[in-house]
Structure 1
């Protein structure tokens, strides 16, 4: 980026950040997640570091606090209230530690506290009596909100000692109280609060103190004048002794490694807190060392705020690539400036299809908000159109890829290759077959699959089971030990649940649940026919989702039987299988009728792939019951929960209907929770699900 481009980008970023800050701090409105504001500001800081000549005094990066609203009397703070610098990773915590280590000759002790996502308030006491409660404001002066803060039960109106004291903390609304408030707002057809922090800020800034009193606000305090303590730990204990509410989860550490471990430990635990917690405040414990380290123009050097990995951040699209899938579908993928999200750095996000691009009006050069949930590839949520410069480019789909024509058929959302008999598609098909939900072959990732195809060692997924040690040792990716491990994994993978085998075939529209539906129907049909299905006593080992191997028994229902049974069904019979339907049924019927596909299945059989049907014979406690999962489960991954349900004869659905038996709710459940309540579907917490 040259100086002219940087100047244009910086101007747009400042305008957008100032607009978002005004809405958030003055109007108590949230247009975007706080993490998005953070990432925009971070980009601005980085650009100003590269082009320091473009820094201006009115830049948001130079501001200490927020704009005042003008509704309340302004009061000057006795000491300026500076913001903490943010850090977003263990590496950045280490960089901070290395900087401050040079500022003192003594060993550093750390005090870590949970960062409450609330409204910063300073309490001023004279002779033990509360006189003023002031918002942080611009850091120099704030607004007098004493009339509402006095209604907060955790704020002492008088102290046990006649002290002149200034105390800082965060006013917040407990999560359950926030849910109650928004429910009442909804019943009155009034605007809902975007989050608990906005609700707390809006309550404190009410002219009528009765409104604040009715919302059961709370305040956690963490700062006093240095004259009353020698360390942050002593300050918290002193506040506690005076009757202030403090965060009881603070902890003292002797090393920075322990600090990082503490930060990581709260990533999941924080969801069980009564308040929103978006990070950890890390401070040098000794006040003497704090004074030694001092301040920069904007923040103390002796403390930082570690922010938990964000689910939504902003970044810029610099290009679009077109990815070919196992069925020949062409998916547009945004290539972006690398950004940290949900704990990992990403530079790609799916744009899904042409309709989705048009709906969101996504262009190359746009600044976008992306989000990542669970293990899925990030996706673009929204375009920040205010940051457009006019240089953005429309995204156009290619007419051909790899020498093959690309077209979009009427009624379909995806563009597709007209011929799928090319290496790019083959690689995707094989990678799908050996993936965790298919054969689950440990050590056979995308790079290995690509090299095996490029070196002509495999022509299809079945050839995996024909690989030898000498084949693998010819690849530059392998040493002897790794070869032996992969050969062992391939041998174990020969014994596979019938539904996972069907899934591994990569039949269009056939996912995990429809694979299981077909497997059950085929097996039940075979049991009722003249075929007798019996167990053979030979134990087999199969890889499981949980990373270990499990003992199974071989059945005499083979891949050849699978081909024969499915081919005996009419299209109507397949379509009428419970959970299948017209679209999925048509692709299953055409796949098994195809001679090339039959030859591939026979090849799997000849190479020793054995179908396990034992799970299909066990009806289980969830037989006849259907489940939908929403939110983040704490003790199981989504795949593990699905596996448990399937093992017990249950069915996992992607969407809710009146026929759904249970909705299992984790953290941050989203819209499915309300829909389940409207439909009358029974709702289970994770603990209730585990107890079934």
Structure 2
């Protein structure tokens, strides 16, 4: 049986990965049928048997999987100017590293690798001692969803590999080829809209047999983690390792010695993009040298040594059929254009973005209902209307005066219309509850907008605090709720009570604040009460918090409804405590009692991390330079704050190693 499994795996590799079949389909079927017969007669199925690729039983749900190494997003270059700016930053970082480390071997002049940016679903595969033991989605980059049974159905994914020295994580993209999609739709009862959604939907389907029916493929392009069994000097070595271990690597990988050659190649790819049998939405440019990658490091979100070059958005024309007005969780009323369905960059477009009435008027769409309009997919993601395609006069788009959901008179605030009925407007309440439960907020597993709607309609949930009053008896009576689902949701509510202060503040949905701002608030104030009682002056002293954001925060926590909701949640056990701070360094630090401003991008830590370290030294970190400022810490691309510091004669620290020495870390 093992010999048969190995022989079939070798033929699969030749056929699905190399596209060089070595036996006929009939001979392959004989081998496969022989293995199936042996498995039936013995009752034994080997863990790497190719028969496991057909998909097993329906799964109950996806389990979270923590990646061994973070899966990073990529910074984006929208045009040649952005690409050159990225390259200049990389060149400067290389030059600075070589200047500051004269004793080390100099980093080489940059060499670039160009790869296609596939439009599917990111996969992270874990192999231990040569065997595939886990497969997961990207998730938030740190935790994804385990989808091993689904990934095993992809025949170009090896179940075992020759490399058996420890554990590695291999990253790639699950895709559906366009020719496969066309063939599938020719006989399918329910047609698939596009290849991207077909691949993502199949890999996140709880029935692996559905995944198998889609006949997905995958390309691999990175080793994200190893436990020491293998190292690489450059990108070429990594690609060779992947190929040697039977991973399917796209035949297109181009290497260039200059950014000018990179630009030419990107233009060539853009012209050829529609000849590929799969969707791409750009290309990825990477520095090839691994020491350089390590030296340049990462920002909070992106590697500094790579960038995604996005192709220009495609445009087409279609008929603007209607405009509906949707209510968001903040009460903002947003127009959504419904257009006659049209294919654009491999996706069927039916809805398009319209920001507000001012946007409609600027684009000359006020009298455009029923006429041809030009649309494009902005960065190949969000469809937007550019304007009318001709001078034909259509029906008028009329802005509502009352909330389309609850009938409350609308208020014009700036460019947008708002419904102020925040306690009685259904979509606002459902939106706030859904946001509260989302992954980056309270991370309540199994929760969705459909759950929020059920709880609103059948359990009287009107506020996030109401979630913690729900009982098993409340949930078990709901449609599609059985014992397991009700119990798991209650466990998720309980688990969410230990989420940290930053996540809790984000979950509250404070207007004009996002994850970065709530992290800043949590790190600086250290407690929920301190944040709730902060003044506008205290808030504007913080990094990247201006007057508008400060006023939003103060107004939000002054609302008695919000305070009552928070009090109820705390009474139910929601802790919302700040993460433990690092131990304070000796009080005689040069920064003790001094006002410090951070500007630019640091290479060895994030600005938030630097601010934490400075505050632990007794410094006051602020967002603006004044005569009271004692030090300005200047990273790469420092701007007006650095200029002002020099004008005022303020001490500037622009050497990160010197900063670390002053912090007591070197």
TM-score, normalised relative to structure 2: 0.43
Pick the structure with greater CA Rg. Answer: 1
TM-score, normalised relative to structure 1: 0.42
